[in-house]
Amino acid sequence: MAFRSQSTLCSTVVFLVLALHLRTASCASSSPHEQDRSALLELKNGLSSGSGDVLRQWAPESGVHHCSWPGVTCDARSRRVVALSPPSRPGWRLAGELSPAVGRLTELKALSFRAVGLGGEIPQEVWVLQRLEVLNLAGNSLRGRLPATFPEGLKILDLSGNRLSGRIPPGLGACTALQRLRLSSNSLDGSIPKQIGKLARLRVLELSGNRLTGGVPPELLHCRVLVKMDLSRNFLSGRLPSGFKELKNLKFLSLSGNNFTGEIPSDLGQLRSLKFLNLSSNSLSGAVPIDLVAIRNRTVLLLDKNMLSVSGEITAEAAPSMPSVISVPAVNVSSSVNLSRPPYELFTASPISSMRVLAETSPGTPSDGSGGLGTKEIAAIASASAIVMILIVALMLCICSRKWTPKPSRRSFRRREVKVFDNVDIGAPLTYETVVRATGNFNASNCIGNGGFGPTYRAEIAPGVLVAIKRLAIGKQHGDKEFHAEIRTLGQCRHPNLVTLLGYHISDSEMFLIYNYLPGGNLEKFIKERTKRPVSWRRLHKIALDVARALAYMHEECVPRILHRDVKPNNILLDNECNAYLSDFGLARLLRNSETHATTDVAGTFGYVAPEYAMTCRVSDKADVYSFGVVLLELISDKKALDPSFSSYGNGFNIVSWALRLIQRGRVREFFIEGLWDKAPHDDLVEFLNVAVQCTQESVASRPTMKHVARCLKDLRPPSY
């Protein structure tokens, strides 16, 4: 019996060992890759509503490894999921909540679901991902409170533009690797934790648009590598701490919209790197430090709605020592400020080449009269202009009538072929006959636009299948092979904010390009009709950013690179959700990367053409930058590029001149469309205007690249999207 019991016990032990071994082997075979896969599928289930085609590919039956699913990045060696960032598509939004299953992605380093419509609370499992370095959930509708502790390796934390509440946890001070902390536009309250001052690597601190109280902790000034600090639009109070001079890299400082009292710290004037300073809408008093006004490189200084005075020591003799600047500098001390002398006496230097102090004046302030004209002169100019315009119109009608005279030939009848680019499938065949039939033989009733390169027609190729037909009104500038090569190059350009070229037809008697159809009209129509409906700052900003990205792609990523040469509102199309698309670059000259400019006939539109382009016919990517700057100015103002109201200022006065004039006189607010100044953050509006002014500088070398402009506009992105 004893032997049998021993035998039974041994068998049981062996069975348990084998079972444990099999279970371990089974777990090993299903982990960690199966663990990642199942976590992604659970994550999808929580987000499936409204996800469209993007997350539809997250499916086991697709036969595609989860590391190849859209938005999923895996480590090359371990094949573990290390980053989640769903691809961005115009108008695309998710819905639902983040699943706690995200916590099973134990190797995750980056989680980015920016502005995709997430709701609910951030799962606690996110905060225990020890390898997490980037967490970007900005622009959603997340609610709840922040945790007491965070992953210590966190480098970027962006939760701006949500509905988070409660206090900012002192535990953030333990994230010693943190470089960017963005918690703006939430409902956070309490004081700013002094522990943030322990973040020695912090470069960006944005806490604006909350309900924070108390003062600015002096410990914040221990973050010596700070480049941007934005504490605006809170309920902060008390005196500003001294010690800002230690922040030698600080370029952007905004403390506006609080209740700070006392004097402006004198050491702020020692920040030679500072470019943007906004202390407006506080209760500051005393004299504005002289050094603050004289900071080199500073482009914007806003001090309005305080109780400040300007020292009388700032005189005209000081102006020549002021440096030349790339963008137009602006110092805005509002009419409520007690000035020791009239603002126009403070500086007498050139308004473009030197730094100056500006004051907001009432609309009735008399002008300097330097650019005005008498009634007789205006009448004479108007009459002469009318005669010249009539002659030009008559000449153009004559040319157009000759250009459109049909010249039939046997060859033209034989070449009725439409070239369709690879991977283009609109659900209906694109042939010469279907295009002609769909446009009613290019009937005027189907014309939806008439640009410099020719009219555009709406064509319904099949029921519900719409395309846009650009009928070229110009002759070929090259031989057949060269022209086909250029068109094929344009057809290879694919960007979310470029109108897609689907195909083309070229023969001796007819040329047209086929694009995808966008139902929202163009930006020119949008600008004209925005008085009929409220337009948000978010929408205006998005249009600008979309176009900037398209131009940056054309200039930097296309091979050979492409110059547009006619950037204007009429060539910017919108869909029903106001996503913007750049169009009408059918005649854009193509440049090799080694070339910096080309000499050609001026192809742009007056008011948008860069000065050097109009005068010398030499075009570069900086000419597009200038035109884009003019579009930015039109987008945020109620003036056109060559507005009729500018006629009293003389020849050559345009929207760029008007912007500089208002900035010079401290009346920046008057530039923006009615109501925009009251709805959007002043810092963002002024910086947006500053970007436009930089783009429209007369000096070609001083204008930024479109890549830089797109980056600047992205940094200004409103947190609501």
Cβ pair 567, 551 in contact under 8 A: yes
Q: Which domains does the chain have, with CATH numbers?
A: 410-516 (3.30.200.20), 523-715 (1.10.510.10)
CA–CA separation, 689 vs 567, rounded Å?
18
CA–CA separation, 600 vs 623, rounded Å?
13
Cβ pair 110, 134 in contact under 8 A: yes
Supply 3's token pair: 């032997």
pLDDT at 48: 58
CA–CA separation, 273 vs 449, rounded Å?
47
pLDDT at 493: 81
Length of the chain counted residue by residue: 721
Phi, psi of 389 (to 5 degrees): -65, -40
Cβ pair 239, 216 in contact under 8 A: no
Strand residue runs (E) in 59-179 = 72-74, 81-84, 110-112, 134-136, 143-145, 156-158, 163-167
Cβ pair 264, 245 in contact under 8 A: no
pLDDT at 68: 85
> Which DSSP symbol is given to 452?
T
CA–CA separation, 34 vs 604, rounded Å?
57
Mean per-residue pLDDT pooled into runs of 10, the chain (721 residues): 48 48 43 85 76 68 82 89 77 76 93 87 94 92 94 94 94 94 93 95 94 95 94 93 91 92 89 86 89 67 83 42 34 40 30 32 37 49 61 62 46 65 81 91 88 82 89 61 73 86 85 89 89 82 94 87 87 88 65 39 70 72 93 93 84 88 85 88 89 91 91 77 47
CA–CA separation, 98 vs 383, rounded Å?
67
CA-closest candidate to residue 717, choices 89, 206, 118 = 206
CA-closest candidate to residue 713, choices 473, 545, 494 = 545
Phi, psi of 468 (to 5 degrees): -110, 130
pLDDT at 547: 96
Cβ pair 524, 569 in contact under 8 A: yes
pLDDT at 27: 41
Please count the CA atoms within 13 angstroms of the CA of 91 that sit on its side-chain side.
12
pLDDT at 484: 72
CA-closest candidate to residue 290, choices 331, 259, 326, 261 = 331
Active site (catalytic) residues:
566
CA-closest candidate to residue 493, choices 552, 545, 543, 554 = 554
CA–CA separation, 517 vs 508, rounded Å?
26
Supply 390's token pair: 């009539």
> Which DSSP symbol is given to 450?
E
Cβ pair 94, 50 in contact under 8 A: yes
The position carrying tokens 């952007």 is 252
